[in-house]
Copies of this chain bind each other. A is one copy, B any other.
Amino acid sequence: MSRSRFGEPVGEQIEVCPVTQTQDIIAGKWKIIILWNLSTQTRRFNELQRLLPNISKGILTRQLRELEEDQMVHREVYKEVPPKVEYSLTPLGQSFIPILQSMGEWSKKNLVSK
C-alpha cells in the first residue's frame, strides 16, 4: 500500500514532501507511544498491551503491523507453546529515537499539563 501524498511528477521521479512522509508513518493514535516503549527494550505483545492502557488487542495488532510494513518495527516469533512474540525497533526505527526523545523533552519543557 502506498500512503504517499503530494505526488508531483518530476521527470520520471516523484517528489514527495519529507515531513509529510514522516507524518504518514507516525499517524495513528498509538504509533508514537509504541515506538517510545520499544526504544529502550524489546517487548512482548502482552507487555505492550499492559503498558498502553485501554488499547485493545485488535488495535495494538494493527498498529504494530503497520509499523512493521513501514520497517520501523521487527516482529520475532518464537515457535514455542505457549507462543512468544517479541517486538523491537529495526535500524530504521532506532534512527527515529532521537526524534522521540526530542518530543518527550519538548513536551516536558514547554507543555503545562492541562
Contact = CB atoms under 8 A, between A and B. Distances in A.
Contact of A99 (B14, B15, B102): B102
- The oligomer's copy count stands at 2
A95 B5 CA distance: 27
A41 interface: no
A18 B103 CA distance: 8
Interface in A2-24: 2, 4-6, 14-23
A110 to B, nearest CB: 6
A36 interface: yes
B19 A103 contact: yes
Nearest to A25: B111
B2 A107 contact: no
A50 interface: no
